[in-house]
Amino acid sequence: MGLTDLAHSVAVVTGAASGIGEAVAQRLLEQGASVVLGDLDAARVEATAARLDADHPGRVSHVAGDAADAGHIAALIAAAPGDVDLYVANAGVFRGFGLEAPESEWATGWDVNVMGQVRAARALVPGWVERGRGTFVSTASAAGLLTQLGSPTYSVTKHAAVGFAEWLAATYGDQGVQVCCLCPMGVRTDMLREGQTSDDELGRLAMRSVVSAGATLTPLDVADVLLEALAAGTFFALPHPEVGTMYARKAADADHWITGMQRFRTSLDG
């Protein structure tokens, strides 16, 4: 059974100052939820909260901080006006290009893209099991199902995020905990724009691969698909439906898939 009634629910959204996080927060507010926004950019999340609060007075709060930090996660939960019903682990980083990507970029990607979600689940899932309800959303990207040309750090950590979401659903899904894994391809966000103008050729290649593989959606498009998946109770939310087809083909014939990705990479180099 999916999450069909958001009125009077309480949500936390990380990476919410802009992009997908901001759009998800907006849609949740439109459905009657109260939302706590989290983001590393203090000035920007404050401005976003003020804008959303103007349309939904009294139902928006914000806490600036690192989404991977357990103390910040605790602060987000504490800022909520009641028990948290929905946690959208949306914050992510896209850095570390090629095999030469430094250890520090691997560490940051792992901490934000994976361990931030693990720490949030640790803080919330036991209470949800006790209450018999709660919803966890992992923004994992199509890179977590397919791959990400140019960036091994992003590809590997997003695969890990999908794996953690699957484990969470398999372990707690029959105890009242709904888990949804959001896996978009190209979305018009700062991350996409910064990648397209990166000083690193592999960073630019990574974003060329994203925009060449399918339509580039707006953040609100992605948020709408997420809410549909939550209502339907499906594990995957796929704003680009073709990702599901590609994922099935990859599973059916990995060698053919890899050969195709090699050809795709070569075409982008040209």
What are the backbone dihedrals phi and psi of residue 207, each rounded to the nearest 5 degrees, phi first? -75, -30
10-residue block means of pLDDT along the chain (270 residues)? 87 97 98 98 98 97 98 98 97 93 97 98 98 97 92 96 98 98 86 64 74 81 97 97 95 95 82
20 Cβ neighbours under 8 A, 6+ residues apart: 90, 139, 182, 184, 187, 189, 219, 222, 223
154 is catalytic: yes
What pLDDT was estimated at residue 191? Answer: 66
- Active-site choice (87, 154, 172, 247): 154
What pLDDT was estimated at residue 194? Answer: 63
What are the backbone dihedrals phi and psi of residue 168, each rounded to the nearest 5 degrees, phi first? -60, -45
What pLDDT was estimated at residue 193? Answer: 61
Spell out the domain ranges in the chain: 10-269
Domain 10-269 fold is Rossmann fold (3.40.50)
What pLDDT was estimated at residue 88? Answer: 98
Residue 17 structure tokens: 């100052």
What pLDDT was estimated at residue 1? Answer: 61
Q: Is 236 exposed, middle or buried (0-12, 13-18, 19+ CB in 10 A)?
A: middle
262 Cβ neighbours under 8 A, 6+ residues apart: none
